[in-house]
Amino acid sequence: MNAFIIFCIASWDQYKNHVILANLVKYSLPTGRLFRLVCCPHYLDEIIIYSTLLPYEQEFYLTLVWVITSLTISALETKNYYRHKFKDNHVAPYAIIPFII
């Protein structure tokens, strides 16, 4: 039951982050919510969503590893793009996982 609640919260947060991205002026830096802390909070939400499925399907771990790896690489590239494009002007300090990466 706890995994389902976390799944729902992460899904809702991912939706809200996608709304922010959809409403951005072209080529601008996303702000608000977790975008102040990480460059790609929607990727973090995706990892959380996939993580909540692991207790129900043990063979799912390779898929989870793939999701974590690919989204982390994408988030790091996005952070590098933001630094280059916006010259560190209010770019979030972390790429995907707060206080870690």
pLDDT at 55: 78
Distant-in-sequence contacts of 60-63, Cβ < 8 A, 24+ apart: none
| pTM score of the predicted model | 0.90
Digit-coded pLDDT (tens) for 8-66: 999 999 999 999 999 998 888 998 889 999 999 999 999 999 999 887 787 888 999 99
CA angle 59, 98, 92 (to 5 degrees): 130
Domain ranges (residues) in the chain:
2-86
Q: Which residue has the higher pLDDT, 1 or 47?
A: 47
Digit-coded pLDDT (tens) for 87-97: 867 889 999 99
